[in-house]
A and B are shown apart, each in its own frame.
Chain A
Amino acid sequence: MDFLTLLQVLDTTVRLATPLLFACLAGLVCERAGIFDIGLEGKMLASAFFSAAVAAISGSVWIGLLAGVTASMALAGVHGLASITFRGNQLISGVAINFLASGLTVLIAQDWFGQGGRTPSLSGGARFNEIKLPFADLLSGLPYIGQSYAELFSGHSILVYVGFLTVPLTWWVIFRTRFGLRLRAAGENPEAVDTAGVNVIRLRYTAIAICGLLCGLAGVYLATGLQAGFVKEMSSGRGFIALAALIFAKWRPWYALFSCLLFGFFQALSFRPDVVKAVTSLDVPGQLLDALPYILTVVILAGFVGKAIPPRAGGEPYVKEN
């Protein structure tokens, strides 16, 4: 395997890891505040649809982005209402959101466009195009470093860069700000937060809003960055892989980056059986590579490699004592 092939595999890794990363960080913020959210998938799907639909109608991907994020945040609001205000079961609310998004997107798409649950193909300004970083062409002649810069770092849509910058930002917010401390406390011991005079309900709603925003970006990237339009069920389980990545990352931002990249790398490898065969001289079936994220998560959950401990108050609606 030559260096260029490696770069191409890594390039695919980055593209596939980005939606996972957004969704994983969304889940991280939410679960750190004590709200389990298995509706990541549904929010991503809704956002993918609305961003593609509105971008197709308006011709501007930025208006599409706004619509996608709004849709995702609206669904997050529903989750918040059900699980925070009405103290419902967070898992059931999440499942409901997944079903709702899966049905609603196709229904609305059929009504608006009459193409059987798809949006028209986007072109030009209606989708995120690849950005060429400065000097990429100039440096591409330089072996290794220049090539990496031109192939791997340059030539992604802007959302990829936003996704990677979100990691340090999330880390800083969660671990270095007062808001982050309170957020984590709300997920570990909400009574203590309440005793200190901080509103737990508001904290959790804020976390859910951030979760909606990040999930929205994941969906927007799927429909307008990676692809040019919405196809029904196009998120195809990425929200659940992101949840697996979250557990694998033990609810930490930097680990989340690592686990999403790792899971993306497995997928990228499953596309290149020739590379796998050349490197390992084994005929590894692509299905095994596709299943690895789940297998690894089970291994982690079973406690073989360190222990994954979720936030203590996760899944419990907060009831103020009278």
Chain B
Amino acid sequence: MTFTQKTLGGAAALAIVASACLAEPALMYDLGGKFDKSFNEAAFNGAQRWAEETGNSYREIEVTAEAQRVQFATRMAEAGFNPVVVLGFANASTLEEVAPKYPDTSFVLVDMVVDLPNVRSVVFQEHEGSYLVGMLAAMATESNTIGFIGGMDIPLIRHFGCGYAQGAKAVNPEITVIANMTGTTPAAWNDPVKGGELTKAQISQGADVIYAAAGGTGVGVLQAAADADVLSIGVDSNQNHLHPGQVLTSMLKRVDNAVYNAFSDGPGLDAGIVSMGLSDDGVGYALDEHNAPLVSAEMKAAVDDARERIISGEIEVASYYTNDSCPAHDF
């Protein structure tokens, strides 16, 4: 084989590879990792569901350091993947940099808003879902003290905590809500030891239901709560099964639906802001065989009623984002 033939053959092979990945969607996980039993894992489940139903494949990549965000997003767009779904609030700046360079690629950002013609921003009404689990916590507590443990101290996590405090105070205005953040750096998403100690500290202050919105750190919160025989509340994915009978419920954030929809819509999907809330089951609370004994019919009725009234607009849950403060809790 001559050199020319080799080069041509190589070029042809490259062309085949390139056309094969064309229009295949890609998913970029955030720090915290694919199997965090929470946010990223929910996205993985959505992608997996899409792959099983359509028989198509997708590409995934996991960010392990801040510096990789732009690099990985660029690589995905460069390789012809479309749409490219990126997870996490921190990727807003990534897409602001990468998306304008690839106007023909559709990007989807979960958890933050970027105003660009080829970016769909999916945001969740976490405060509404958190409101419901806050109500459940307030009805389950015997000490009238409940806890909230956030991961990294960012407005998104305060948004969770704010909805939670409002829900709890709707049930019992006298309730005490203790809130702690694990840290101020991304390491706060992966420090179960600190999460566990924060849990113990909250328990010693009297908390007997603790809501963890902290990614991998939440594993430690749920563990410490189960060890001390108090209830905990999981987040993003259904975490009820982690400690059956000891996790009161989980605040579901259907990141899987966001990813599934993006993959189904395919290249050229509608850009703009998509807000997923209670009405379209974008957020909610988990009820399954693991926590059924913990949630009484009365509690369920009260929460379902509140859900209807939030959807109809009768109850308005204040958002932390509106003026960067929370009416129910001082962070």
Residue A228, interface by CB 8 Å = yes
List residues of A (1-28) whose CB comes within 8 Å of B's CBs: 5, 8, 12, 15-16
**A12-B201, A271-B197, A271-B201 given; A231·B190 CB < 8 A:** yes
Q: Which one of A8, A234, A273, A290 contacts B192 once the chains associate, using CB atoms below 8 Å?
A: A234
Q: Please give the distance in Å from A48's CB to the nearest CB on chain B.
A: 10
**A8-B201, A231-B190, A231-B216 given; A117·B183 CB < 8 A:** no
30 CB contacts below 8 A, A to B, read A5-B204, A15-B197, A116-B41, A118-B35, A118-B219, A121-B219, A121-B223, A222-B193, A227-B196, A227-B223, A228-B227, A229-B192, A229-B219, A231-B192, A231-B219, A232-B33, A232-B190, A232-B216, A234-B192, A234-B193, A236-B191, A236-B193, A267-B197, A268-B197, A271-B197, A272-B201, A272-B205, A273-B180, A286-B181, A287-B184
B41, A236: Cβ atoms under 8 Å?
A: no
List residues of A (222-277) whose CB comes within 8 Å of B's CBs: 222, 226-229, 231-234, 236-237, 267-268, 271-274
Q: Per-position contact with A for B181-202: 1 when CB-CB < 8 Å, else 0?
A: 1011001001111101110110
List residues of B (3-39) whose CB comes within 8 Å of A's CBs: 33-36
Residue B161, interface by CB 8 Å = no
Residue A199, interface by CB 8 Å = no
**A16-B197, A236-B191 given; A290·B183 CB < 8 A:** yes
Tell me the nearest residue of chain B to A225, going by C-beta: B193
Q: Which one of B41, B184, B187, B204 contacts A8 once the chains associate, using CB atoms below 8 Å?
A: B204
A residues near B227, Cβ cutoff 8 Å: 228
A residues near B33, Cβ cutoff 8 Å: 116-117, 232
Residue A115, interface by CB 8 Å = yes
State in angstroms the CA–CA spacing of A115 and B223 once bound together: 17
State in angstroms the CA–CA spacing of A123 and B193 once bound together: 16
Interface residues of A (CB under 8 A from B): 5, 8, 12, 15-16, 115-118, 121, 222, 226-229, 231-234, 236-237, 267-268, 271-274, 286-287, 290
Q: Please give the distance in Å from B308's CB to the nearest CB on chain A.
A: 37
State in angstroms the CA–CA spacing of A229 and B224 once bound together: 12
**A5-B204, A236-B187, A271-B180 given; A117·B193 CB < 8 A:** no
B34, A233: Cβ atoms under 8 Å?
A: no
**A116-B33, A116-B36, A232-B33 given; A227·B184 CB < 8 A:** no
**A231-B190, A233-B187, A233-B190 given; A226·B35 CB < 8 A:** no
B residues near A234, Cβ cutoff 8 Å: 190-193
Label chain B's interface by main secondary structure. helix
A residues near B205, Cβ cutoff 8 Å: 272, 274
B residues near A227, Cβ cutoff 8 Å: 192-193, 196, 220, 223
State in angstroms the CA–CA spacing of A121 and B204 once bound together: 24
Q: Please give the distance in Å from B47's CB to the nearest CB on chain A.
A: 14
Tell me the nearest residue of chain B to A117, going by C-beta: B33
Q: Please give the distance in Å from B148's CB to the nearest CB on chain A.
A: 13
B residues near A117, Cβ cutoff 8 Å: 33, 35
State in angstroms the CA–CA spacing of A267 and B36 once bound together: 25
State in angstroms the CA–CA spacing of A39 and B204 once bound together: 35
Residue B51, interface by CB 8 Å = no
A271, B198: Cβ atoms under 8 Å?
A: yes
B residues near A267, Cβ cutoff 8 Å: 194, 197
**A227-B192, A271-B198 given; A116·B34 CB < 8 A:** yes
Q: Please give the distance in Å from B67's CB to the nearest CB on chain A.
A: 15
B residues near A273, Cβ cutoff 8 Å: 180
**A116-B35, A290-B183 given; A121·B242 CB < 8 A:** yes
Q: Please give the distance in Å from A47's CB to the nearest CB on chain B.
A: 14
A residues near B242, Cβ cutoff 8 Å: 121
A residues near B184, Cβ cutoff 8 Å: 287
List residues of B (155-192) whose CB comes within 8 Å of A's CBs: 178, 180-181, 183-184, 187, 190-192
Tell me the nearest residue of chain B to A287, going by C-beta: B184
- Since A5-B204, A226-B197, A268-B201 are in contact, a sample of 5 more A-B pairs with Cβ atoms closer than 8 Å, ordered by chain A residue number, is A227-B223, A231-B192, A236-B190, A271-B197, A287-B184
State in angstroms the CA–CA spacing of A196 and B34 once bound together: 57
Q: Please give the distance in Å from A215's CB to the nearest CB on chain B.
A: 16
B residues near A5, Cβ cutoff 8 Å: 204
State in angstroms the CA–CA spacing of A117 and B41 once bound together: 13
